[in-house]
Structure 1
Amino acid sequence: MSDLDATTPRIFLVRHGETEWTKNGRYTGTTDLELTHTGIAQVKGTASYLVGSGKLIDPARIARIWVSPRKRALQTLGLLFNNSSTEPGTYNAVITEDIAEWNYGDYEGLLVGEIRAGRKERGLDGHVEWDIWRDGCEGGESAQQVTERLDRLISEIREIQEPCMNGEGSADVVLVAHGHILRAFVKRWLKYPLDNQLPLMFSPGAIGILSYRNHDLDEPGFYLGMALPLQE
């Protein structure tokens, strides 16, 4: 049985488009930035190719959308479905902190080099450099706290998709969120701890895809690549 059978429910991960802090690498958690002009163009470009009737993300197949409450994510959601024949409000979109960006606490707005230098000045890390996946954020979330909220969301997704593992109805879901939290979601989907050394990259405005191998709820996987639907 093919792992690439598109009747198996899928999870589409959508990273918001570029912001001013995305460009310079500043940690952006709760700060409510809007998309830049480039960020808007990124999402529109992705949507024009991949979202719409008969395309990779087909509104007719979506059971649920979860979106971060930050402006950049909500703006991305609106742009993503603008080219669709179905209005975003007609399907079940849930705004939730469960898929909000990692709360960076004291590190909000800083560059990774600034975070590591500050921690060393305070004698926190010794010979081992700070790693968010292991150490979390002072004044913000720990890896365990992020794990707990993502596992809660994964349980909800599995409840929706379990009855539809062989194409029995519309069961695709969409998550519209942020770079760190979506990479964390991939790790938890694959049942890895967040400090697992799984290097992942996720460009602004890009879409990733998760699903299940062999139509089996107990075999979560991710697509290294997926052929796009044929266009009539």
Structure 2
Amino acid sequence: MADAEAQIPRVFIVRHGETEWAKIGKHTGKSDIELTPLGIRQVASTASQLVGPGKLLDPTKLIKIFVSPRKRALQTFETLLGQQHGEISGDDRITITEDIAEWDYVSCHHMFCPHLRATHLIIVLTVIYRSPQQVAEHLGRLVEQIKDLQRPFMRGEKAADVLIVAHGLILRVFVKRWLGYPVDFPLSMLMMPGSVGILTLNHSSEEPAFQIGMALPAA
């Protein structure tokens, strides 16, 4: 690998591109809608800069891929990997799972609910899961699964990156659980459509972390 940092296993989180509902402020929840043409271009632009052999997100270094089963996430995954998607579409590294599908917002489903963007996040989650503890357990299992997969490779024994392609709400809560925070911890986060975030583990202590800055692989 190019440098010592590249040997540390990472978790790439990717939010799907724009949808018609997101464009006008509707929260999509469990509705299964597709990306807009702009949403596809957003993801394609990200992919052209960051995804591919020798780039920041190198598919050959992925040991596991988790994708939401919603159309907008599946389209994002296909666009993100481009031609390489066909090569790995039947790969056993890929898991399509409801665990990272966006939660239904029940009373706000099909409605404009800007108040849900940050301060009432925990209310949205507990409508479905009834308690913060259940939310924590739900995503905590995924966090532990990923850590178990990466733990044998903390010294660079093998490339061991993980990719998650999902939705804005679920990914923001996943970040909190990765860092060991409760789901109602006041950690404001923004994630633009079609964007990529990076989580990792400190190689010396295996303490979870997120990267607040990144350098692209050297040419």
* TM-score, length of structure 2 as denominator length: 0.90
Aligned to 1:154: 143
**Mapping of 1:54-73 within 5 angstroms?**
54-73=54-73
Q: Are the counterparts in 2 of residues 34 and 71 from structure 1 also a CA contact under 8 Å? A: yes
1:96-151 residue CA offsets vs partner (Å, 9 max, x unmatched): 11111123122212222587xxxxxxxxxxxxx97122x23575344443322211
State whether structure 2 residue 205 is matched by structure 1 residue 204.
Answer: no
**Mapping of 1:30-69 within 5 angstroms?**
30-69=30-69
1:148-183 residue CA offsets vs partner (Å, 9 max, x unmatched): 221110111011000000111131000000000000
Whole-Å Cα distance in 2 between the matches of residues 86 and 9 of structure 1? 25
Residue 63 of structure 1 and its aligned partner are, at CA, apart by 0.1
Q: Give unmatched runs, 5+ long, in structure 1.
A: 116-128
Residue 60 of structure 1 and its aligned partner are, at CA, apart by 1.2
Counterparts in 2 of 1:33 and 1:7: CA distance versus 1, 3 Å = same
Q: Are the counterparts in 1 of residues 7 and 159 from structure 2 also a CA contact under 8 Å? A: no
Higher radius of gyration, 1 or 2:
1
Please give the root-mean-square deviation of Cα atoms over the aligned residues, in Å.
2.1
Q: Are the counterparts in 2 of residues 53 and 85 from structure 1 also a CA contact under 8 Å? A: no
1:179-218 residue CA offsets vs partner (Å, 9 max, x unmatched): 000000001111111111111000000000000123432x
Opposite residue 140 of structure 1, the aligned amino acid is I
The residue matched to 1:87 in structure 2 has which SS?
A: helix
Aligned to 2:182: 193
Aligned to 1:230: 218
Counterparts in 2 of 1:49 and 1:86: CA distance versus 1, 3 Å = farther
Whole-Å Cα distance in 1 between the matches of residues 190 and 39 of structure 2? 17
Aligned to 1:82: 82
Whole-Å Cα distance in 2 between the matches of residues 79 and 227 of structure 1? 23
Aligned to 2:106: 105
Q: Are the counterparts in 1 of residues 16 and 167 from structure 2 also a CA contact under 8 Å? A: yes
Whole-Å Cα distance in 2 between the matches of residues 112 and 28 of structure 1? 10
State whether structure 2 residue 213 is matched by structure 1 residue 213.
Answer: no
Whole-Å Cα distance in 1 between the matches of residues 114 and 38 of structure 2? 26
Aligned to 1:126: none
1:2-54 residue CA offsets vs partner (Å, 9 max, x unmatched): xx712010000000000011112212111001000000000000001111000
Counterparts in 2 of 1:139 and 1:6: CA distance versus 1, 3 Å = same
Q: Are the counterparts in 2 of residues 52 and 83 from structure 1 also a CA contact under 8 Å? A: no
Counterparts in 2 of 1:71 and 1:86: CA distance versus 1, 3 Å = closer
Opposite residue 199 of structure 1, the aligned amino acid is S
Opposite residue 147 of structure 2, the aligned amino acid is R
Q: Give unmatched runs, 5+ long, in structure 2.
A: none
Aligned to 1:12: 12
Aligned to 2:166: 177
Counterparts in 2 of 1:85 and 1:37: CA distance versus 1, 3 Å = closer
Counterparts in 2 of 1:206 and 1:224: CA distance versus 1, 3 Å = same
> Once structures 1 and 2 are overlaid, which stretch shifts more, 208-217 or 11-20?
208-217
Aligned to 1:140: 128
Opposite residue 62 of structure 1, the aligned amino acid is L
Counterparts in 2 of 1:140 and 1:86: CA distance versus 1, 3 Å = same
